[in-house]
Structure 1
């Protein structure tokens, strides 16, 4: 389905480096490196900051999103966080973007903080029309723009990884 919308500006971010052991995968926290990575990526969002941050319910993604939001707040940019249950590691990129289409259609920049393989799958589905997935390093952010929410129509403007 192709629906014409205001310009879509979508940031897709993978959570920062996480500690490998926890009671469950959902409870894995960020490592100190992951915290530093998340903080360091705020600067790439400053030229056109997101109006909303949509985040996986997993702890490491929640922590990453909170650090990014706090970093933006230091620049007087207040961005609400919204937990989305269907943006976890193995969710379908097609289902995610279809379900988020009403949010993406507002014309506001949106940041999704999630996991691999979903992060890479979102980028390749939106930009190339397949879900083979792009390797997305921890705390990396991809920036995509499009006029519509559909497979293979977005332009990948950049993909940036943290320097830490």
Structure 2
């Protein structure tokens, strides 16, 4: 099974709007499209995204770039402060999915899936794309195949 985790692209600064309403900048859109090229030809079955605007915009850009037909699945368990354990619980019955979210969740989730609890988060910049793989979803046993930044 594979899981791709994509942090949203660059967004307008904190304080300019409420956090859930912050949108991508033009640079953020370019970053996302660059990262989307890494997903071409991958066997994605679903795209899950945080309800925050910048994550929704990121997911939609990827969906359009790939010509991915299924609708984006908006879920509250991908918001910035979500618990990685809760995310892992949601992933038990899925495979080959893209998760579009935010830090600190992205860094914490990548670390948790690779090493288990208690490890420092992975450092993931805007539009950073990680590919994790494992025979099954076992916390602390997933392999990080790549972590690429635009």
Same fold (TM over 0.5): yes
Provide the C-alpha distance between the structure 2 equivalents of 1:148 and 1:121, rounded to a whole number of angstroms.
19
Partner of 1:47: 41
Structure 2: distance between partners of 1:149 and 1:9: 9
Partner of 2:23: 29
| Count of matched residue positions in the alignment of Structure 1 and Structure 2 | 148
Q: Give structure 2 stretches of 5+ with no counterpart.
A: none
Tell me the secondary structure at the aligned position of residue 78 of structure 2.
coil
Structure 1 unaligned spans of 5+: 1-7
8 Å CA contact 1:11, 1:142 repeated in 2: yes
Query: C-alpha root-mean-square deviation of aligned residues, in Å?
Result: 1.3
**Aligned-partner SS, 1:95:** helix
Conserved in 1, the CA contact under 8 Å of 2:91 and 2:137? Answer: no
Counterpart residue number, 2:99: 112
Separation in 2 of the partners of 1:140 and 1:66? 16
1:3 aligned residue: none
Partner of 2:58: 64
Q: Which aligned segments of 4 or more residues in structure 1 are displaced greater than 4 angstroms? A: none
Shift of 1:25: 0.3
Distance 1:123 1:117 in 2: 10
Whole-angstrom distance in 2 between the partners of 1:139 and 1:19: 14
